[in-house]
Amino acid sequence: MKKKSVVIILSILVIILGLVIAYLFIFDSSKNNVKENKEPDKVDNNNEVKEEEETEEEKLEKMVNSKLESMTLDEKIGQMLVISNRVSAMTDSLRKELEEYKPGGFILFSENFTTYDQTLKLVNEIKETSDIPLFIAADEEGGNVQRLLSLKDKVTNIPNMFRVGEANDKDLAYEVGKVIAEELRVFGINMDFAPVLDIVDSKNQSFIGNRSFGTNPTLVTDMGLSVGKGLEDNLVIPVYKHFPGHGSTVADSHYDLPVINKTKSELMDRELIPFKEAIKNNADVIMIGHLAIPKLTNDKTPASLSKTLITDLLKDELNYNGLVITDALNMGAITKNYQEKEIYEMAINAGVDLLLMPNSSSSALKNIKESIAIGKISEEQINDSVKKILTLKYKKLENSNPLPKSYLGSTEHQEIISKIK
């Protein structure tokens, strides 16, 4: 009997042990299944995030390509033009020009600034003529080059950049850029033809003078890029100028062609330093000056029309991928030496994307189309430029809405500027 009881007890223990083992096996399998089910979800989530990041870039590219494919040749050429018209209010002729030729941008001058209400109305009416965002630009450098000072309303008077350079404070320079950007944005201006990256030999012995931050390459680089960052962070596109360096010239390119007798190595060690740093910091737009450097080009071709200086040096050697804009095409440095059609052909073939202030929209369109028809300009070059223009516009201008009038001459702005002695 005792033996039988022992057998029964052992049998029960075996059954219990078997049940425990079975339970542990099932529990472990369930854990593995849950883990396996969770891990794919995690991977899927990562893939979804990755796909969303790629989709944003793809979305921009698709938008640009779709728009480009839908555009006529006339519309593409129009995008490469930045025009001006020194009126205080919209006129029938200006509206017709904007609607017919669809320029890519409009530069405002002192005559365009009157009162807050009237100037804002003019800018809004200019913008309304285009289904593609317009570059609305101004020369707002500070000192003697301030278009906003023509306003009848109170605005902040920005000191010349040589004084900003003398302060030698990167944080303060950034704040100066912020002040300029915020007051420009009151009128929906989204591009500033500043800062000046030219290095002067002396502020009194140069065409550029006190528009420059100073005589030292490091100082000019630090101050220029800080002002540019202040502009960019506050939704105004800075245009760094005047490549490859206008600082040591005496001649005024509005009337004559300045000539710089320097070698490439000399330029690399001085004039080009600020531009090289701007490129490293992803500059969106660089303006080319009307100045000759015969030791690089073997002739007196202005930089703004030179493939050697724009494509070979700026783009290929310095690895610049942003937009290239000319200085104004009505300046004597080029109009005295080249015919209108020749200027467009040379500039576009040199690698220019934006033509600032052509003779007129109609003549620019006519001449460029004729040059394309006879093979002097390739449509591929036009497409490449317009693709870059549209990409920057859709990337940077979509959320650039006007700021309230209270930003003009604000107490905060006045306090920032008062720090510049």
Confidence of residue 401 (pLDDT cuts 50, 70, 90): confident
In this structure, are residues 158 and 180 in contact, taking their beta carbons and an 8 Å threshold?
yes
322 occurs within a structural domain? yes
210 occurs within a structural domain? yes
367 occurs within a structural domain? yes
In this structure, are residues 247 and 201 in contact, taking their beta carbons and an 8 Å threshold?
yes
Q: Supply the pLDDT for residue 207.
A: 80
Q: Is the pLDDT of residue 314 over 50?
A: yes
Greater pLDDT, 202 or 149: 149
Query: b/e for 36-61, b at 16 or more Cβ within 10 A?
Result: eeeeeeeeeeeeeeeeeeeeeeeeee
In this structure, are residues 81 and 399 in contact, taking their beta carbons and an 8 Å threshold?
no
162 occurs within a structural domain? yes
Domain that holds residue 195: 75-417
Cβ-in-10-Å burial (0-12, 13-18, 19+) of 157 comes to middle
Percentage of residues of the chain with pLDDT beyond 70: 86
| Model pLDDT for residues 318-360, shown as the tens digit of each residue | 999 999 999 999 998 899 999 999 999 999 999 999 999 999 9
| Model pLDDT for residues 166-181, shown as the tens digit of each residue | 999 999 999 999 999 9
Q: Which amino acid is at 52?
A: E
Distance, CA of 204 to chain centre: 31
Query: pTM value?
Result: 0.87
Q: Give the DSSP letter string of 175-231.
A: HHHHHHHHHHHTTT--EE---B-PPPS-TTSSSSGGGSS-S-HHHHHHHHHHHHHHH
181 occurs within a structural domain? yes
16 occurs within a structural domain? no
Checking DSSP bridges between strand 237-243 and strand 191-192, what pairing results, if any? Answer: parallel
Nearest CA to 295 out of 308, 276, 281, 279 is that of: 308
Query: b/e for 100-109, b at 16 or more Cβ within 10 A?
Result: ebbbbbbbbe
| Model pLDDT for residues 8-49, shown as the tens digit of each residue | 665 665 566 565 555 555 555 554 544 444 444 444 555 555
191 occurs within a structural domain? yes
| Model pLDDT for residues 256-298, shown as the tens digit of each residue | 888 999 999 999 999 999 999 999 999 999 999 999 999 999 9
Q: What would the two tokens of residue 404 be? A: 């309230």
Catalytically active residues, by annotation: 254, 327
Over residues 65-79, mean pLDDT = 97
Q: Supply the pLDDT for residue 3.
A: 54
Handedness of CA 219, 224, 230, 232 (dihedral sign): negative
Distance, CA of 71 to chain centre: 23
Q: Is the pLDDT of residue 155 over 50?
A: yes
Q: Supply the pLDDT for residue 26.
A: 53
117 occurs within a structural domain? yes
In this structure, are residues 243 and 220 in contact, taking their beta carbons and an 8 Å threshold?
no
Q: Supply the pLDDT for residue 253.
A: 76
What's the domain count of the chain? 1
| Model pLDDT for residues 80-103, shown as the tens digit of each residue | 999 999 999 999 999 999 999 999
Checking DSSP bridges between strand 81-83 and strand 355-356, what pairing results, if any? Answer: parallel
Q: What is the CATH number of the domain that holds 282?
A: 3.20.20.300
CA distance 81 to 101: 9
Contacts of residue 416, defined as CB under 8 A and 6 or more positions apart, other chains included, come to 172, 175, 176, 178, 179
